[in-house]
């Protein structure tokens, strides 16, 4: 069966510091991968999605970037964090074969920027 | 383009009462519809989904939803609420591969927080 991991679970970072959040998927090949942010009272916002290694699409302009160095690894980064980057970050995958494109979510990373 | 509206950001029910969470969607092509549940500080868990075929969809934990094309709705129901159902619920829509540039992208509603009173 497929599983998705995210780490760290919780992170407290000062403003201006760098960020690296990691997401890995097991039990599937060539998945589509997604990064979402969930800010308090604002629902889920799609940040990035990837349909293959090195292929990243950004949904909104922001202080963050994403990379996919391996088939089942998706990394969310920032060079300098802003207060507004605080939130709950969710990684998700889908099977990449089209059709219903059901997305399955990881446990999330809670980021607090102070 | 597609969109989702969840009516009511907060719903409160008594334990044992009917749960009804409302979702309306907008889509220019036949949609695929989903309900997810999120418990505090956790990721989203898929409750159920509608793709094609039977319009009444049964999911986990006793939940079900009915796709009504004429009403562009996909309301979530459970006959008898349990304390463990307290969580936030998200309705979502995608148009799948037929959607061209919308391929693989889920559009979420703003969420409904369900509170269950003893």
Mean pLDDT for A67-85 is 95
Cross-chain Cβ contact B43/A49 below 8 Å: no
Provide the token pair at B35. Answer: 């309900």
Q: Assess whether pLDDT exceeds 90 at residue B53.
A: no
Q: Are B8 and B24 in contact (CB under 8 A)?
A: no
State the count of interchain CB pairs (< 8 A) between A and B.
57
Between B36 and A62, whose confidence is greater?
B36
Between CA B40 and CA B4, with CA B95 as vertex, the angle to 5 degrees is 50
Q: How far is B9 from B49, CA to CA, in rounded Å?
A: 21
Of A42, A94, A110, the CB nearest to B41: A110
Q: Give the closest of B97, B103, B109 to A43, CB-based.
A: B109
**d(Cα A84, Cα A114) in Å, to the nearest integer?**
10
Q: Can you tell me which residue has the tokens 């990064």? A: A35
* pLDDT recorded at residue B23: 97
Burial degree of B15 (CB within 10 A; 0-12, 13-18, 19+): middle
Tokens of A87: 């939130």
Give CA–CA dist A88/B38, Å, rounded: 12
Alpha carbon of B50: minimum distance to chain A alpha carbons (Å): 9
Best mutation target, B40, B42, B104, B109, to test chain A (most A CBs within 10 A): B104
Non-local CB neighbours of A34 within 8 Å, separated by 6+ positions: A46, A48, A49, A50, A91, A92, A93, A94, A103
Q: Output the six-digit token pair for A16.
A: 């201006």
What's the token pair of residue A53?
Answer: 């290694």
Q: Is B86 on the interface with A (CB under 8 A)?
A: no
Dihedral pair phi/psi, residue B62, rounded to 5°: 80, 5
**Whether B99 contacts chain A with CB within 8 A:** no
Residue B14 has pLDDT above 60, yes or no: yes
List the one residue out of B118, B113, B108 whose CA is nearest residue B33.
B108
- As a whole number, the mean pLDDT across chain B is 90
Distances (CA, A) of B94 to A40, B84, B99, B102, B105: 24, 28, 8, 7, 6
Question: Hey, are the CB atoms on A110 and B32 less than 8 Å from each other?
Answer: no
Report the SS3 class of residue A84: helix
pLDDT in tens, B69-104: 999 999 999 999 999 999 999 999 987 554 444 456
DSSP 3-state of B59 = coil
Q: Does B104 touch chain A (CB under 8 A)?
A: yes
């Amino acid at each position: 069966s497929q599983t998705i991991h995210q780490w760290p679970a919780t992170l407290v970072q000062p403003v201006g510091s760098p960020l690296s959040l990691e997401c890995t998927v097991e039990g599937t090949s060539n998945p589509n991968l997604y990064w979402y942010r969930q800010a308090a009272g604002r629902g889920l916002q799609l940040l990035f999605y990837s349909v293959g290694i090195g292929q990243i699409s950004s949904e909104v302009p922001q202080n963050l970037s994403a990379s996919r160095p391996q088939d089942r690894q998706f990394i969310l980064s920032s060079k300098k964090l802003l207060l507004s980057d605080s939130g709950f970050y969710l990684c998700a995958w889908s099977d990449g074969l089209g059709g219903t494109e059901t997305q399955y979510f990881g446990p999330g990373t809670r980021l607090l920027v102070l | 383009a597609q969109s989702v509206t969840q009516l009511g950001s907060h719903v409160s029910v008594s334990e044992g009462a009917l749960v009804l969470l409302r979702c309306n969607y907008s889509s220019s092509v036949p949609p695929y519809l989903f309900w997810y549940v999120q418990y505090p500080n956790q990721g989203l868990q898929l409750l159920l989904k509608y793709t094609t075929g039977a319009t009444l969809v049964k999911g986990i934990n006793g939940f079900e939803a009915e796709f009504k094309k004429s009403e562009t709705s996909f309301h979530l129901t459970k006959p008898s609420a349990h304390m463990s159902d307290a969580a936030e619920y998200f309705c979502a829509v995608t148009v799948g591969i037929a959607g061209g540039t919308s391929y693989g992208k889920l559009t979420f509603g703003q969420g409904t927080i369900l509170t269950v009173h003893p």
